[in-house]
A and B are shown apart, each in its own frame.
Chain A
Amino acid sequence: METYTLPTTISFTRPEPLIKLLSIEKPQFILDWSKVARIDMAGLAILCCMYDHWGERKIKVISANIPAQFENYPVIKKFMTPPHLVTPELFDFQQSCKKLSGISNQIPMFFMEQLHSTCPIIKIKAELSFTCNLLLSELMQNSRDHSSGERYYAFFEVNGLNIYLGVLDMGVTVPAKLEQKYNFSNNIEAIEMALKEGITTRRQRAGGKGLFYLKEEIKACKGSLTFISRDAQIKMFTGAKTIQRRKLQTPLRGTWIFVTVPLLSK
Chain B
Amino acid sequence: MIITIKDSFFNDFKTREAGEKLRQMILIHLKTEDVIELDFSQIEIASISFIDEFLVKLFTVEKIRPKDWSKLKIVNMNTFDKKLALKMLQDSKTKVSF
Contacts and interface: CB of A to CB of B under 8 A. Distances in A.
B16 A130 contact: no
Contacts of B44: 112-113, 130, 133
Contacts of A134: 46-48, 84
B49 A138 contact: yes
Contact of A126 (B10, B16, B80, B84): B80
A209 B81 CA distance: 16
Nearest to B78: A130
How many chain B residues sit at the interface, stated as a range, is: 20 to 34
Interface string B2-21: 00000000111111110010
Nearest to B11: A109
A145 B17 CA distance: 11
Nearest to A208: B52
A107 B11 CA distance: 9
B55 to A, nearest CB: 12
Contacts of B81: 130
A127 B80 contact: yes
Nearest to A133: B46
B70 to A, nearest CB: 26
Given A130-B80, A205-B53, A213 B16 contact: no
Interface of A: 107, 109, 112-113, 126-127, 130, 133-134, 137-138, 141, 145, 202, 205, 207, 209-210, 213-214
Given A109-B12, A141-B47, 7 more contacts: A109-B11, A138-B49, A141-B14, A141-B16, A205-B53, A207-B52, A209-B88
21 contacts: A107-B15, A109-B14, A112-B46, A126-B80, A127-B80, A130-B78, A130-B80, A130-B81, A133-B46, A137-B47, A138-B47, A138-B48, A138-B49, A141-B14, A141-B16, A202-B16, A205-B16, A207-B52, A209-B52, A209-B88, A214-B48
Closest 5 CB pairs of A and B: A133-B46, A130-B80, A134-B46, A137-B47, A205-B16
